[in-house]
Amino acid sequence: MVLTNGLRRGLERGEFLLNYQPQYDAAGKRLIGFEALLRWNSAEHGFMPPDRFIPLAEQTGLIIPIGEWVFKEACLFARRLADMGKAAIHVAVNISPRQLVADGFVATVRSCIEAAGISPGQIEIEITESIFIESVEDAIFKLSQLRELGVVLSLDDFGTGYSSLTYLKSLPVGVLKIDKSFIDEIVSDQAQLHVVGAMINLGHNLGLSLVAEGVETEKQLKILSEYRCDRIQGYVFSKPLAAEAAIRLVTDSA
């Protein structure tokens, strides 16, 4: 209750911010994009990690206005990149199942993109398999509308759900993000490496682009490069950055 009111007030008071984690090619030479990650710096509760407030925002429905703020903010960040001549650098936004189910989500996405004056292709929307819990047909319909709009869809936490392979071929996604829990063990566990290798091949055979998440070491990086993973996201390159630090990174990598 206290936290719920805090969330509502936090939105009004501008206590939310986005951090941006870079994604590079496996050689670490090319900055490909950023994932926007929500942060809440609460006047009352101090710094709150997303794992604590996002589930609450989902339960209370506050994820709808908060999610709209996130989308608007991420589109404005994408606009800054475009203004620097870097429209090829995309911005990925996480969404919750409740956002997709809500009426008007596709319209909100469209109007944020139009208001920012960016190309829809610069925005990636990260979904998880949990969007299918409510209605598979409705989810696929909404996702198809987003795809028609021109945004790129990305399947987050790939491999951790129960039925990835059932849905994969009917989903209009362009990107698969291999969950950190798989990446953690590729150096120490040969079987796990085979699983990740198979995921990469499967994705490539379906014409998808692969992102490895939570890559922390040079050894992991080298292996993923050998397996032709398209993008790397993780502490080996960078933690999530404040907006200004992310912009500086783009300037420096030009």
* Residue 6 or 214 having the CB closest to ligand G: 214
Q: Which lies closer to ligand G via its Cβ, residue 209 or residue 233? A: 233
Q: Give the binding site for Na ion (CB under 5 A).
A: 156-157, 179, 213
The token pair that represents 42 in the structure block: 């609460």
Cα–Cα separations (whole angstroms), residue 206 to 25, 127, 170, 201: 20, 18, 11, 9
- Least distance (Å) from Na ion to the CB of residue 182? 10
Could you tell me which stretch among 2-10, 49-57, 133-141, 200-208 binds ligand G (CB under 6 A)? Answer: 49-57
Return all residues near 226 (Cβ < 8 A) that are at least 6 apart: none
> How does DSSP classify residue 26?
T
Percent helix, strand and coil across the chain, each to the nearest 5: 50, 20, 30
54 near ligand G, rule: CB under 6 A: yes
Residues 234-253 close enough to bind ligand G by CB under 6 A: 234-235, 240
DSSP E strands, 148-230? 152-158, 175-178, 209-213
Q: How many residues bind ligand G (CB under 6 A)?
A: 21
Binding mask 76-95 for Mn ion (x = CB under 5 A): ------------------x-
> Could you list the residues that contact ligand G (CB under 6 A)?
21, 37-38, 49-51, 54, 70, 94-96, 156-157, 213-216, 233-235, 240
